[in-house]
Amino acid sequence: MSTWPRDPSPIRPTRSRLPHQPRRPQRQRRPQHPRHTAAYVTLAGADWLASASPFPRSVHALWASDPAAPVVLPCGTAFDVISVPALFGRRLADRLWSDGPGSGPVAAQRGRILLFAAVGTAQRLPALLDWEEWRAMVPQPLCHGKGDAVTVPPLFPVDLFDSPEADTKPGPPSRWLVAPDLRRPWLPGPEVLLWGCIRAARTGLSAPADTPATSQHALAPS
């Protein structure tokens, strides 16, 4: 795709070292899942999404002709998708990033949040939620696994291409909140999402009445 935009993620400057300065030993750090900062899907992320289809070349051909087109992809091969209401979904993603290991790709679509999860999560998560005392406080998720399919947002925001159809499409736009930017992204499993759901439910119970409106933009891309 020759028209692929450049990733706007800032590059952290490196500090130059003089020849006579000794090199400092690097500290051992615990492995962490890096937070995705891409504003739109990268080439590597598109490869990962297309790998969910039995015909990845056809998916790439469609995106090459129209990168702003949404695509229907099957679940259960490269990823499962957990769909929750928008407000709860933003709380859930916030808790995963602030207190947990982070999340995989996350999308906003027609009043719901789509969390891309490890294969098998759609089958196990409902059973885990039924065992928890917080089940009544967690909105019923829609779990899409093997045999299901979801419509993923366009690779890039429609306004990047100044499309005349951007203002004529019905309903709220679908977009990536955490865009796929790796060929093999880390994806949360059922236990991680259960942990996040319980903490998001607790956050909703303890938050003042006027905070949900401001928390809706916590994950909006800058």
Quote the mean pLDDT of the chain.
Answer: 76
Residue 11 lies in a domain: no
Domain of residue 190 covers 43-161+171-200
pLDDT band at 8 (very low <50, low <70, confident <90, very high): very low
User: What is the average pLDDT across 119-129?
Assistant: 94
Q: What is the pLDDT of residue 145?
A: 97
Span 76-95, pLDDT tens digits: 999 999 999 999 999 999 99
Q: Provide the residue type at 145 as one letter.
A: G
What is the reported pLDDT for 90?
94
Q: Looking at residues 43-67, what average pLDDT do you find?
A: 94
Does residue 62 fall inside a structural domain?
yes
Structure confidence at residue 214 (pLDDT): 33
Is 13 among the domain residues? Answer: no
pLDDT at 211 over 60: no
Question: What is the sign of the dihedral through the CA atoms of 163, 154, 107 and 173?
Answer: positive
In a domain, 104, yes or no: yes
Please name which of 186, 197, 220, 184 lies closest in space to residue 143, comparing C-alpha atoms: 197
Burial class for 119, CB neighbours closer than 10 Å (0-12, 13-18, 19+): middle
Residue 206 lies in a domain: no
Q: How many domains does the chain have?
A: 1
* 189 in any annotated domain: yes
CA angle 41, 218, 50 (to 5 degrees): 20
211 belongs to a structural domain: no
**Neighbour tally for 220: CB within 10 Å:** 10
Residue reference for tokens 């093999």: 184
**Predicted confidence (pLDDT) at residue 157 exceeds the cutoff of 80:** no
Check whether 25 has a pLDDT greater than 90.
no
Strand partners, 146: none
